Structure formats: structure tokens, C-alpha cells
Amino acid sequence: GTNLLLEISDTVKDPTGLVIHKGRIISGTIKKGDNIFLIVDKNERNATACNHTATHILHSVLRQILGDHVKQAGSLVAPDRLRFDFTHFSQVDTETLDKIESLVNKRIQENLPVQLEEMDAEDALKTGATALFEEKYGDRVRVISLSDFSKELCGGIHTSHTGNIGLFKIIGESSVASGVRRIEALTGDAALMYTQKTSNIVRNIARLVKEKPEALTQRVEKILSEQKFHEKEIERLKAQTASRSADRIEDDIKSINNIKVLAKKVSVDNPAALRDLADKFKEKIKSGIVVLGCNTGPKVLLITLVTKDLVDRFHAGNIVKQVAAIVGGGGGGRPDMAQAGGTKPEMLDKALDKVYELVENR
């Protein structure tokens, strides 16, 4: 074509075996009868070939380590990665994945020749070549052999020697469906870059916690244990502070129409702590209305408790709903207990003052 530049995205074969190229025109024009000069991206082709051969090695290693029940259930071979789905009854643990990865790399380091042979399909199966049951094969098939440990029917592109793969790195193991597991991996330069990146992360973390990389696991476990202890200690101190606060509420209680009312802003940061504190205040006043509010970052939490002797006159849900409206929120609940939230913490003091007005006007 005239100044034609065509980007090929896929190739397929029609029923007669004719290869059809699919793509999009980047520039120029094309017409029937034009001669087209095809250029293969060698880097992508070689990377794809290495990943394909690596899946064959992986398949054989999985059968060797996990058992003969392993069968291929799907795969993806791309220039930058590979994915292999296989039948297996449970998650593959880290120790076993390490064994699989090591054995695959051992096969790569042996630099074994990748042998390609065409033969009758029946003869190929007699030699022990593995076939995919969902695939349809013609009378003549191509067999890919890797020494004496792998022999599969395959029409895809492969590298000439296993050593060309360079390096194999597993980056993920997961479940695809019941009884089907998936391994994702990288090879060659991609595997090296991934290894370097993760190694740098480990070194940076080791530097931050002032520990040798090989001792990181124990160090992180210690940090998490200390964090858990400190979190429990903080909760204990908060509860202790709240309990002491409950012992000193006399000055905060107002008597309105002979009803004890406590509307107070408190320093807690979660609904459970707010409820616990409200219960303590309720026990302290014995008869009355308790409304507590707290700021949790950009939000407001509110709780209202009404003692049982007053629920025929005051409804906690109605009170908290009107108070929450002032802080830009809403809520509700039972006659004796109700909760609400809001988005205007700067209005909390005004909202709590509303409680006294509601009781007085009842």
C-alpha cells in the first residue's frame, strides 16, 4: 500500500488453514492485490516464546510435586507475564510454591533443548504426550518435548532452549473456581525487575525499623504485638477516664421541670465507647434523660437515653432526631435509646443546648 502502516492485533486461521491478520491502519491506504511487508516485533515474540515454554515446564513440575491429578484448566501466555490454571483440591502453601519455583528454575538452568516434532495424533498420544481434552486436534499434530519430563501437544511458539527463559518468578497463587487454582508468574527481565523491586521494598522497610532483612518477620511480629498491647491499654485508659467522668457529673446535670437532664460533649471516638459512657451516666442519675455527643473527625455521633420511668413522656428517638438535625444529620431509635450522626461538628454545642429546650417545652 501507499505509505501503509498497519498495526496487527491478532492472527487467526480460517477452516482451510489460511492465516488471517487482524489490525488497524495507522497511516496510508490498502487495496486488494497490494504486497505487504510484515515485520515481527522480535522482543515481544521472544518474550512470548519464553513464557510459553515456561508454562510447559510449570505444568510438568506441578504434576511432579502436587500429583498426577493436576490437569491444565486454562492459561494465558503474554509477552510480559504468564498465567496457568490447573485442577487441584486446595491452596498451594508458600513452602510448596517455593519448591515449584525452584524446580522450574532448575529446568531452566539445565538449558535443555526444546524439541518440536510433527506426527500422527494417534502416535503422539501413544508416546505419552499430554493433550487438552477441550482442544480439537487434526490428524497431524505437533509435539513439544523437554527432555524426558515434559511432552505436550502444542501448536504455539516456543524458545529453542529452556535457558533462554533466564528466570522464573511466581507472583501469585489464587482460586479460580472450586477445584481450580491459578499461578501467575514472570520470566526473564520482567522476573528480574520484580525481584529487584521487592528486594528494594524489603531493604527500605528494614532501614525504617532498623533491622536486618533476614530478621524482618520477627521484628514486624513484635511491632504488631506491641501495637495490639498499646491499643488495649488506650481503650483501658479511655474507659477509666470515662468512668471517672461519670463520677463527676453532678455539676453538668440540670433539673428542668423536676427532670434530671444531662446533655454533654464527651471525648470518645467510637459508637461503642459512647454507648458505654451513656450507660454509666444513666446509672448515675437513676431517673432522667442523657444525651451525649462526640466528634469523630469530620463527623458527629449522638446518643440519647431515657430512663424507663420517663418513656411515657419522652421518646429518645424523637429527641435525638431533632438534635441531629442541627448537626446536619439524622437518626432515631426506641423510646429508651436512640442514636444519630451528623456532619457539622462545629454545631455540636448548639445541638446539645437544644436538649434542654426540648425538655422544657414538653
CA–CA separation, 152 vs 156, rounded Å?
A: 11
Q: In this structure, are residues 122 and 140 in contact, taking their beta carbons and an 8 Å threshold?
A: no
The CATH number given to 44-207 is 3.30.980.10
Please state which architecture CATH assigns to domain 252-360: Roll (3.10)
Portion of the chain with pLDDT greater than 70, in percent: 96
Q: Grid coordinates in use for 202?
A: 524489603
In this prediction, residues 97-117 reach a mean pLDDT of: 97
Domain boundaries, the chain: 5-39, 44-207, 252-360
Query: What would you measure as the largest C-alpha separation in the chain, in angstroms?
Result: 102
Using CA atoms, how far residue 100 sits from 9, 14, 50, 170, in Å, is 34, 38, 18, 9
Secondary structure tally for the chain: helices H, strands E = 8, 15
CA angle 214, 220, 224 (to 5 degrees): 165
pLDDT at 235 over 90: no
| C-alpha closest to that of 261 among 331, 359, 362, 327 | 359
Grid look-up 515434559 returns 150
Residues 117-167: tens digit of each pLDDT? 998 888 888 888 888 756 677 778 889 999 989 999 988 899 999 999 999
CA–CA separation, 286 vs 283, rounded Å?
A: 5
pLDDT at 246 over 70: no
| C-alpha closest to that of 319 among 274, 359, 260, 271 | 359
Specify the pTM: 0.67
pLDDT at 23 over 70: yes
